[in-house]
Homo-oligomer: A and B are copies of this chain.
Amino acid sequence: MTTGSAPRRVTIADVAGRAGVSTAAVSKVLRGAYGVSPGMRAKVREAMDELGYRPHAAARAMRGRTYTLGVMLSDTRNPFFPDIIEGVTGQLVGTEYQVLLGPGGDEPRSQARMTDAMIDRSMDGIILISPVMSSTELAAIATTTPIVVIGRHGSAAEYDSVVDDDVVGARLVVDHLADLGHRRIAHITHLDRGRASGADSPQAVRAEGYRQAMRARGLAEGVDVVATSFTEEGGYEGARQLLARPARPTAIFAGADVAALGVLRAAYEAGLSVPGDLSVAGYDNIGIASLNPISLTSVDQDGHVIGATAARLLVERIEGRGRSVLSSVSPTLVVRGTTGPPAGRE
């Protein structure tokens, strides 16, 4: 066999016995509840330490909290999700809460399944990163367990939301390029196959922000949006289409860095120098954007702040806040080597 049978867990009964008090007292100390004398509290604490007591989460779950927060990940490959996780866990350091991540996949069904699994496991609250679900479904979940939604614009009374301000992000890029002298600035966006998120999705808001910013700069007729996908391949395809235009754009604003990488490849293949012949900007400021051979101008959304905010809001909800909150985190533009003045700048 594997090894001798697993040693029995230390329970509050053991602690109570050791400290010479009741289990109720131990439970109260554990929860920091009212009605225990300092002396008894000290005795219990000591007994817990001596015995190496650790509360059994499942048992707690039967009556009270589990001190477990779930994070439903829609995409484990999302380049800034580590930042969000770091923000979440960082915010929770020093509290009793533990964070568990659930890979939800990119389909509505699998995401719903993971969310249910988290609810079934009595998580005290759940953070959903870019969920592909309708607001109605989200609201339904929120009646069971407090939730905070990251990355979906559009708020609801039932839950809190944290989003990057994609309108501002798009404007930062357009303004930067327009300031450099570009007039034909094209945009590559992501085409939703699913029907769920719609106008609430970051890509939709970025595209709309792009249009607004172009108009605001008096570049309405320079607006040119191509919808492929936020992948390297999607960026490549989009760029190929754009570069085949009779009057090709002098700058391409890709709605995501991965797509911008594809744009760079297309430019390279077309023999266009960057930023000499074509300026390229992305969104997300993923790790490699800063690396030398790439050096991509990009919009940085502070994943750390987003994660920390989400965690804070979730704990507030769990502890009783009723009113709904929508927190918008401002992005910043990181200018690097892929953007410069257009070639024919007079």
Contact = CB atoms under 8 A, between A and B. Distances in A.
A76 B82 contact: yes
Contacts of A293: 264-265, 268, 293-294
A138 interface: no
Interface in A196-253: 232
Interface stretch (A34-42, A55-63, A165-173, A174-182): A55-63
**Residue of A98, A102, A103, A121 with highest tally of chain B CB at under 10 A:** A121
A110 to B, nearest CB: 9
A58 B54 contact: no
A135 to B, nearest CB: 14
A2 interface: yes
A105 B66 CA distance: 21
> Within the oligomer, what is the number of copies of this chain?
2
Interface residues of A, number: 57
B158 A2 contact: yes
Nearest to A97: B117
A120 B55 contact: yes
Contacts of A122: 56-58
A22 to B, nearest CB: 21
B288 A265 contact: no
A27 interface: no
Interface of A: 1-4, 6-7, 54-59, 61-62, 66, 68, 70, 73, 76-77, 81-82, 85-86, 89, 98-103, 105, 114, 116-117, 120-122, 142-146, 158, 232, 261, 264-265, 268, 287-288, 291-294, 317, 322
